[in-house]
Amino acid sequence: MQKKFDQTSDPKRWGAGVLVFAILAMVGSISNAYIISLLTVVLLFAFMGQSWNLMLGIGGQLSIGHALFVGIGAYSVAILNIKYGITPWIGLILGAAIAGLIGAVLAWLSFRFEVRGIYFALLTIAAAEFARIMFGGWDYVGGMQGLFFQAPTGSMDLAMLRGDTRFYYFVALTLAAIGVAGTEMISRSYLGYVWRAMRDDDDAARALGVQTFRHKILVISISAATAAIGGGVLGLVQGAIFPDSIMGMGISVDVLIGPVVGGLGTAFGPLVGSMAAIPLHHAMGALGDSFGIPGLNSIAYGAVLILVVWFLPDGIWPAVVRLYGAIQLPARVRISKLQEVENDRAA
């Protein structure tokens, strides 16, 4: 009887996930370089969006400064690799640890002094902007001129995490898959229940024994660490990092657009949302350049956001699920499913 409710073992959900990623892997094997590099960025932002989604969609904590963590990850990888020739793997781990720690300290200070909700979000912007300006004035890391990676020599070097566009596509795809599976696993574990309870009503959660102070710090720390891993890979993919590009507000917006458009708090939302929004952003940017209309891409972002909030307030993915549910599971089937459970319980 209990198995039925254990959605982690629901083969349909996992099957759908595997299918989606198999198709994406095929796309990566046959497409041309432009599409691959665009999709690489989409997948990386899907992964980073997933980390942001964990924090707001499940943990209920809003950040508008995720560029801080993305940038920390990118700089950790770049500094170690460019200055000391150390493998990006170490940089990714170190970056995640530093970002996780900074996220935890930021959260601890903030909640310790009752700075919550939207005020905490403002604090994240301030922290990201502070870091951007600090890195811009820091000669050791190249200041505003940034840091440049050496061009990769072969098509693939897993130990040094260097390779061609196709290699990075598969790295990004792996990360995106880990992001979806990880979110699904976390949200079905006790953390998912406790975090959602805390998100919906802090006082009610505390009355049920949830140590919300500790859990807020934990969710923010995990989100920061995973965003830093995405940032580290993003830096490698771009081949160079600058404070304005890797720690700017633009990155914070790119990170959150996926989950907001795709569906907050869902495992697939950030992926679906990034797929929809980021190519549009690029296409409109290109279109704007060729017609001499600057800012067309930002207008496109704004338009997508308004349309989604207006017509699909929970995002694209939940709407798809509803549609699918309407086809697959008419009311009578659902009732008979409930009946089955009842019978099981009686037995």
Partner 1 sequence: MTALLEVKNLTKSFQGLVAVNDVSFALAPGRITALIGPNGAGKTTCFNLVAGALSPTRGQVLFEGRSIERTPPETVCRMGVARTFQIVRPMKDMSVLENAMVGAFSWTTSVKEARAKAYESLENVGLAGKANARTDQLTLPDRKMLEMAKALSTRPRLLLLDEVMAGLRPTEAAGVVGVLQKLAESGLTILLVEHVMRIVMEVASTVVVLHHGAKIAEGKPSDVVADPRVLESYLGAGFHA
First to last CA, the chain: 9
Name residues contacting partner 1, limited to 152-191 (CB under 8 A). Answer: 188-190
- Which of 194, 229, 272, 296 is in the footprint of partner 1 by CB under 8 A? 194
CB of 344 to partner 1, least distance (A): 11
Longest Cα–Cα distance in the chain? 72
Q: Identify residue 32 by its one-letter amino acid code.
A: N
Cα gap 287→154, rounded to integer Å: 33
Q: Does position 204 bind partner 1 by CB under 8 A?
A: yes
Q: Candidates 211, 306, 307, 343: give the one binding partner 1 (CB under 8 A).
A: 211
Q: Which stretch in 12-20, 88-96, 209-217, 230-238 sits in contact with partner 1 by CB under 8 A?
A: 209-217
**Binding letters toward partner 1, positions 299-338, x by CB under 8 A:** ---------------------------------------x
How many residues make contact with partner 1 (CB under 8 A)? Answer: 27
Q: In whole angstroms, give the CA distance from residue 202 to residue 213.
A: 10
* 32 vs 328, beta carbon nearer partner 1: 328
> Residues, the chain, total?
347
CA distance 176 to 163: 18
Q: Which of 241, 281, 283, 246 is nearest to 261 (CA)?
A: 281
Q: Which of 81, 212, 221, 274 binds partner 1 (CB under 8 A)?
A: 212
Shortest separation between residue 233's beta carbon and partner 1, angstroms: 31
Span interacting with partner 1, options 122-130, 199-207, 237-245, 291-299, rule CB under 8 A: 199-207
Q: Which is nearer to partner 1, 14 or 138 (CB)?
A: 14
| 6 near partner 1, judged by CB under 8 A | yes
The distance of closest approach from Cβ of residue 63 to partner 1 in the complex, given in angstroms and rounded to an integer, is 21
Does residue 12 belong to the site contacting partner 1 (CB under 8 A)? Answer: no
Query: Helix, strand or coil for residue 56?
Result: helix
The identity of residue 214, as a single letter, is R
Local structure of residue 114 (DSSP, 8 states): T
CB nearer partner 1, residue 82 or residue 316: 316
Q: How far apart are CA 141 and CA 4, in angstroms?
A: 54
Q: Closer to partner 1 by CB, 91 or 315: give it.
A: 315
- Give dist(CA 276, CA 170) in Å, integer: 20
Identify each DSSP E strand in the chain by its residue range.
147-148, 156-157, 162-163, 240-241
Interactions with partner 1, residue window 241-270 (CB under 8 A): 265
Alpha-carbon gap, residue 19 to 16, rounded angstroms? 5
Interface residues with partner 1 (CB under 8 A) are 2, 5-6, 188-190, 193-194, 196-197, 200-201, 203-212, 265, 338, 341-342, 345
